[in-house]
Amino acid sequence: AAGQNKQHFITKNTAKLDRETEELHHDRVSLEVGKVIQQGRQSKGMTQKDLATKINEKPQVIADYESGRAIPNNQVMGKIERAIGLKLRGKDIGKPLETGPKGK
């Protein structure tokens, strides 16, 4: 069983950022959303690390979202929304998340 020469895996967002040019830029999380995440997190008494641990992401991901450097990912945004209880997507950004009964 000889060693294999495997290609290193590059995440989709990293590849997107590499292809980015002056004319072509990718949407980033708005500063408004970053502020909502920060305020929601602080109102629950959580640090960036606490929030990251709760949603199974790295603390750097939370820092990037709060500073507006992250390319939005709906899965991550959904996890953050549920963790802090505030909407981060759509037109009601910053409003409390409605926790109604889930349909089956």
* Structural domain harbouring 48: 26-90
Domain at 85, CATH number:
1.10.260.40
Distances in whole angstroms, Cα of residue 82 to Cα of each of 9, 39, 85: 30, 14, 5
Using one digit for the tens of pLDDT, what is the confidence trace for 2-37? 555 555 544 455 556 565 555 566 678 888 889 999
Cα–Cα distance measured from residue 82 to residue 36, given in angstroms and rounded to the nearest whole number: 13
Cα–Cα distance measured from residue 53 to residue 62, given in angstroms and rounded to the nearest whole number: 10
Structural domain contains residue 60: yes
Number of H helices, E strands in the chain: 5, 0
Structural domain contains residue 95: no
Structural domain contains residue 17: no
Please give the model's pTM, rounded to 2 decimal places.
Answer: 0.69
| 44 SS3 class | coil
Eight-state DSSP code of residue 101: P
Residue 93 contacts residue 34 (beta carbons within 8 Å) = no
Structural domain contains residue 5: no
Domain count, the chain: 1
Using one digit for the tens of pLDDT, what is the confidence trace for 57-68? 999 999 999 998
The closest of 88, 14, 24 to 51, measured between CA atoms, is: 88
Structural domain contains residue 40: yes
Structural domain contains residue 6: no
Structural domain contains residue 102: no
Structural domain contains residue 4: no
